[in-house]
Chains A and B, each alone.
Chain A
Amino acid sequence: EAGVTQFPSHSVIEKGQTVTLRCDPISGHDNLYWYRRVMGKEIKFLLHFVKESKQDESGMPNNRFLAERTGGTYSTLKVQPAELEDSGVYFCASSLRQGWYNEQFFGPGTRLTVL
């Protein structure tokens, strides 16, 4: 079974540009999560999709970040315009269902560098 995949693995952009990160969850997983780790700090939750609906977007830092999951399969996270403080590693995770016993499986992350 293929795991969670993310594309690209690295992205280097200049301040003010736009970047779109993609996450493909494990097939059949309705739940998809975005997290990020900035500057070696803790990994922080951004948002949670159940199929194509946003269940919890309380961690999204501001309106420069837009996440979508059209059709309930893969998800994209767009940063527009990117700022220096957006640099970090963006992780995606998926789980089969919500709730108590459902493990979240993480992707390898996308390392974003904003210059």
Chain B
Amino acid sequence: AQSVSQHNHHVILSEAASLELGCNYSYGGTVNLFWYVQYPGQHLQLLLKYFSGDPLVKGIKGFEAEFIKSKFSFNLRKPSVQWSDTAEYFCAVKPSSASKIIFGSGTRLSIRP
């Protein structure tokens, strides 16, 4: 079955620390890859996406993610986090043959000011 695994349930960092959130997926075919973010009290919104081309994708607010096809991974990174990055982050996959998005269970990120 298609699935998305996020390695960390809750991550706590201090401001200015570097961030890497792990994501692996299981699907053998062609996929679109996404990271969504939900800030407290706000909508789920798209942080960045990969469709094709350069496997290093840059998104909003200084986030980036790298697609490593051989590892079925799409890890999210940010060199220096801010208190405003406190949110829940979801990795997601959309198989090219399907219309639905398959989400991971989410990683809650807490930033200490």
Contact = CB atoms under 8 A, between A and B. Distances in A.
Interface of A: 3-4, 31, 33, 35, 40-45, 48, 55-56, 58-59, 91, 98, 100-101, 103-104, 106-109
A56 B104 contact: no
- The interface centre, meaning the residue of A3, A55, A100, A107 with most chain B CB atoms within 10 A of its CB, is A100
B100 A45 contact: yes
Interface residues of B, number: 22
Interface in B44-69: 44-46, 49, 51
Given A33-B99, A45-B101, A106-B44, 19 more contacts: A31-B99, A33-B101, A35-B103, A40-B105, A42-B4, A42-B106, A43-B44, A43-B90, A43-B92, A43-B106, A45-B100, A58-B100, A59-B100, A91-B44, A98-B99, A103-B46, A106-B43, A107-B43, A108-B43
Interface of B: 4, 32, 36, 42-46, 49, 51, 90, 92, 96, 98-106
Nearest to B91: A42
Given A100-B51, A106-B45, A42 B104 contact: yes
Contacts of B36: 106
Contacts of A103: 46, 49
A100 B50 CA distance: 11
Contacts of A108: 42-43
Nearest to B103: A43
A56 B99 contact: yes
15 contacts: A4-B43, A33-B99, A33-B101, A40-B105, A43-B44, A43-B92, A43-B103, A100-B32, A101-B51, A103-B49, A106-B36, A106-B44, A106-B45, A108-B42, A109-B44
**A interface secondary structure, majority:** loop
Contact of A41 (B51, B96, B100, B105): B105
The 9 closest A-B pairs by CB, nearest first: A45-B100, A43-B103, A106-B44, A42-B105, A42-B103, A48-B99, A108-B43, A98-B99, A41-B105
Contacts of A3: 43
